[in-house]
Structure 1
Amino acid sequence: MASDPYKELGVSRGASADEIKKAFRKLAKELHPDTHPDQPATLERFKRVTAAFDILGDAEKRKKFDAGTIDSQGHEQQYRPGGGARPGGFGTGGFSGARYEGGPGGRAAFDDIDLEELFGRFGGGGARPNAGAKSTFSARGQDVRATLDISLEDAIGGTTRRIQFSDGRTLDVTIPKGAADGQVIRLRGQGAPGRGGEAGDALIELKIAVHPVFKIEGADLTMDLPVSVPDAVLGGKVPVPTPDGTVSMTIPKGSNSGAVLRLKGRGAFVGGKRGDLRAKLVVTLPETPDEALTKFAQEWRDRQPYRPWRS
């Protein structure tokens, strides 16, 4: 059994206070008895690590230990004539009698460690039993995380979707109306089961899938709206798809490609407020060439040429 607190924490003798603290945090979480029930060897290692930090985590105790005036348990060294530590000191003793609280001097070394954060998650208010006592810790179950892909229409209108976890469990997730991309829904008690404590939560992150028509820009939606040449020239009413269904929109006379028309309150949600739908007009020729239109365009160009571009 190693008796050098530096070796127990896996740090060098020149390690800084932050390095010692970091090493202790890591080992304490890895070796905590509640995560290794019925493993006496791990329990003993945990006690030795705790006792080692009681020495090295306290600047005054560390100074005395390095000078050889206290042993690895914090006991004052007694020297025999001719030098050498008494039995039980650093030279031959070790951590065999160490308690969770460390050696003499109580918990001074832990004053700047957040024990609530370090041990509290295992339950029991951060209490640490005496050596040899059976662990009575309770541990809250871990939270589980998952991502749920939803459609834009689901996000805007709200719905219920079923999700399956890797352990085979399924949950019905209520998507609230006006849900945002990246929003996290917490389902309390639906995470991993606890050990003598409450279950963790399920954290479901919503991801809005790319839409074939609409693009999300903040609270607004944008889209390209194809319009025919007659509607662009003469004006008229055209059907426009929205996440809430198709509506009718009036195209002004003489509309050009690139003109943007706005449908208020038909967009996405940000902060509980709904934006608008902005439709960019795209004047579109017939897929099949039309002889009459071609003839008209030729005659019109010969009679009244115009150049919309700038030379």
Structure 2
Amino acid sequence: MTDPYKTLGLGREASAAEIKSAYRKLAKKHHPDLNPGNAERFKNITGAYDILSNPEKKKKFDRGQLDPASGAERPGAGFWGQWGGAQKTGKSFSFDEFDGINNDIFSSFFRNARGDIQGRPETGSYRKNSAKENNKPKNTNYKLTVPFTEATLGIKKHVTLSDGKVVNMSIPPGTETGMKLRLKGQGRVAEKSSKKGDAVIEITVQDHEHFVRKSQDIHIDIPISLPEAISGATIIVPTIYGNVTLKVPINSNSGSILRLKGKGVPKSKEHNLGDQYIRLQVTLPDKIDNELKEFIENWGKKNEYNPRQKVKIT
């Protein structure tokens, strides 16, 4: 690969979105799993994307500082190479662009002042280290959004990653947002090796319509009617494991909390479970008929009380 822009079929003014889109299309088309004879082409595509998707590497390539074949900086190109790159591309540089650029190049020339080497850059050791880096398998980072119940209970499933790659993976019980899962050998191929790195997948758990997770416990608000609150009742409530029956005590108020033991989130490496907490919400009917209204008014006259006194709000 001599020019990552040409490899991805892009012009030098391509935006980050255009670079990503071009890479996805070409990577899917030339992936070795689908086209075994395209391994070299796929390697060039991933190498080009590795340079252009990284702002620092892209900037260095545009300035002539980066060798696209190895991904390593060209020795000595940090300062003088910019003048050559500017003349070739017609780009002009401001003082700020030169400020602090590649200080390592200068320090390697003048290390003899510190008693290290005698006035020449360490190009041999630099190239050796760069070759080692290029031979290392490269991990590939992905982001994946998982439904709430799949994350809490765990699941094995086929997942399509952001670059179109389909993988089989196990999401362990109790998975939380921010957790990272590693798939061995599902990452990028090293530039000068056939070894693959790992795919590292960062999980985001979707919010649930009713459930809220707090550590290993599940919380949910459940509405109940006025008769159920006064007389008590047996109702159906959802859990992450399915529906269960729950006994509502007599004289239950809004805010009363009931517990379902063992209906919370499992810990991935342990057998103990959290609990589910139900907060009751007494809900009046949408329309109050005259019969109920008259009954409440008459009852209130005979049984006056101020519930705010209990919490010292009068």
Distance 2:240 2:206 in 1: 13
Relative distance call for 1:157 and 1:165 in structure 2 (3 A) is closer
Partner of 2:206: 209
Measure, in 1, the Cα distance between the counterparts of 2:246 and 2:130: 58
Provide the residue aligned with 1:100 in structure 2.
124
Local SS of the residue matching 2:300: helix
Give yes or no for contact 1:36–1:42 (8 Å, CA) kept in 2: no
Residue 265 of structure 1: aligned partner: 262
Structure with bigger helix share is 2
Distance 1:51 1:225 in 2: 67
Quick one: distance in 1 between partners of 2:242 and 2:210? Answer: 13
Could you tell me how far apart the structure 2 residues matched to 1:298 and 1:119 are? 90
Structure 2: distance between partners of 1:299 and 1:153: 48
Alignment of 1:56-205 (within 5 A): 56-57=110-111, 60-61=114-115, 72-73=119-120, 100-101=124-125, 122-123=131-132, 139-197=135-193, 198-205=195-202
What is the CA–CA distance in structure 2 between the aligned matches of 1:180 and 1:37, rounded to whole Å? 38
Q: Deviations over 1:116-167 (max 9, x none)?
A: xx976743xxxxxxxxxxxxx7522321111211122101222234433444
Residues 82-131 of structure 1: per-residue CA shift (max 9 Å, x gap): xxxxxxxxxxxxx7xx8615xxxxxxxxxxxxx9xx976743xxxxxxxx
SS in structure 1 of the partner of residue 124 of structure 2: coil
How does 1:5-84 map onto structure 2 within 5 Å? 36-37=69-70, 42=74, 45=77, 53-57=107-111, 60-61=114-115, 72-73=119-120
Q: Note the C-alpha offset of 1:54.
A: 4.7
Contact preservation (8 Å) 2:173, 2:268: no
TM-score (norm 2): 0.60
Q: Classify the secondary structure of the residue corresponding to 2:220.
A: strand
1:57–1:218: structure 2 CA closer, same or farther, 3 Å change rule?
A: farther
Matched residues, number: 223
Q: Distance in 2 between matches of 1:38 and 1:153?
A: 43
Cα distance in 2 for partners of 1:222, 1:190 equals 37
- Going from structure 1 to structure 2, the CA distance change for 1:229 and 1:43 (only over 3 Å counts) comes to same
Q: Which residue of 2 aligns with 1:305?
A: 304
Q: Is the 8 A contact 1:55 1:61 kept in 2?
A: no
- Counterparts in 2 of 1:280-295, with a 5 A limit? 280-295=279-294
The amino acid that maps onto 2:255 is G
The SS at the match of 1:300 is helix
CA distance change for structure 1 residues 53 and 211 in 2, over 3 Å: closer, same or farther?
A: same
Greater gyration radius: 1
Query: What's the TM-score once normalised by structure 1's chain length?
Result: 0.60
Aligned to 2:244: 247
- Whole-Å separation in 2 of the counterparts to 1:161 and 1:57: 56
Q: Could you say what secondary structure the match of 2:234 adopts?
A: strand
The alignment-based identity, stated in percent, is: 27
Correspondence for 1:10: none
Name structure 1 gaps, 5 residues minimum.
1-26, 74-94, 102-114, 124-136
The Cα offsets for residues 227-256 of structure 1, whole Å up to 9 and x where unpaired, read as 111111111211111111110111111111
Instruction: Give the Cα separation in 2 of the matches to 1:215 and 1:151.
Output: 13
Would the alpha carbon gap of residues 58 and 256 (structure 1) be closer, same or farther in structure 2, given more than 3 Å must change? farther
Shift of 1:307: 1.3
Sort the Cα spacing of 1:201 and 1:236 in 2 relative to 1 into closer, same or farther, 3 A. Answer: same
Name the CA distance, whole Å, in 1 between partners of 2:153 and 2:166.
Answer: 23
AA at the equivalent of 2:299: W
* Two-structure CA RMSD over aligned residues (Å): 3.6
Q: Aligned in 2, Cα 1:42/1:99: closer, same or farther, shift over 3 Å?
A: closer
Mapped to 2, the partners of 1:44 and 1:59 lie a distance apart of 19
- C-alpha spacing 1:167/1:246, structure 2 compared with 1 (3 Å): closer
| Distance apart, 1:55 and its partner CA | 4.8
